């Protein structure tokens, strides 16, 4: 049986020289790889009590929805600004070159609900930190974060040290 890491395609010098791009599309394109990714991530949080799964656009949707479905939990979307049809709350956060805004429906999280964030990857932790602030602004409590890939060299874990963070694969570099 293949290990999850074997399904991840590594592309050297993309998007720039010295960077190894970890491509999750190769996992998604393989039925066994996709099932292994979802099962592994779900297993990492089997001891966690939570009410809602939250995932960011777009790969958080891919991994978060089957976990929510399997565990009979609701799934809540976090999207880029202007993509949700109802009343939203939003947060702007810093990127390496500029800023971005994410938002979620104002009625998607209830006061006191325990939240699991699911995403494909954590790098610097900036986007995840913004998601946490957005969820907490609605009264939710983030009790865990699970990702398929962690790029440890970018120190996202340090940025999120007050939250439980599980990663199915951890690469030491960037």
Assess whether pLDDT exceeds 80 at residue 170.
Answer: yes
The DSSP H or E segment spanning 117 is: strand 114-122
Burial class (CB in 10 A: 0-12, 13-18, 19+), 32: exposed
User: 96 catalytic, yes or no?
Assistant: yes
What's the pLDDT tens digit per position in 102-121? 999 999 999 999 999 999 99
Annotated active-site residue 133? The verdict is no
What pTM, to 2 d.p., does this model score?
0.96
What number is the average pLDDT over the span 130-144? 98
pLDDT digits (tens, 9 = 90+) for 27-80: 999 999 999 999 999 999 999 999 999 999 999 999 999 999 999 999 999 999
List 16, 17, 49, 96, catalytic entry:
96
Q: Write down the catalytic residue from 22, 59, 79, 103.
A: 59
At 18, is the pLDDT very low, low, confident or very high (cuts 50, 70, 90)?
confident
Do 55 and 64 touch, CB atoms closer than 8 A?
yes
- Could you identify the residue written with the tokens 């779900």? 42
Q: What angle do CA 130, 134, 139 make, to 5 degrees?
A: 140
Q: Is 82 left (phi over 0), alpha (psi -120 to 50) or beta?
A: left
């Amino acid at each position: 049986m293949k290990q999850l890491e074997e399904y991840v395609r590594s592309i050297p010098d993309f998007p720039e020289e010295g960077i190894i791009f970890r491509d999750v599309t190769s996992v998604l394109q393989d039925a066994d790889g996709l099932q292994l990714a979802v099962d592994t991530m779900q297993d990492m949080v089997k001891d966690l009590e939570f009410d809602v799964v939250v995932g960011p656009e777009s790969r958080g949707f891919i991994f978060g929805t089957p976990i929510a479905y399997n565990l009979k939990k609701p799934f809540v979307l976090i999207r880029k600004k202007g993509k949700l049809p109802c009343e939203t709350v939003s947060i702007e956060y810093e990127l390496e070159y500029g800023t971005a805004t994410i938002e979620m429906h104002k009625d998607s999280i209830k006061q006191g609900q325990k939240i699991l964030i699911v995403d494909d990857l954590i790098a610097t932790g900036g986007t995840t930190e913004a998601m946490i602030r957005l969820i907490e602004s609605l009264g939710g409590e983030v009790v865990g974060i699970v990702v398929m890939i962690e790029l440890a060299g970018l120190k996202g874990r340090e940025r999120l040290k007050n939250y439980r963070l599980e990663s199915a694969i951890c690469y030491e570099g960037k």
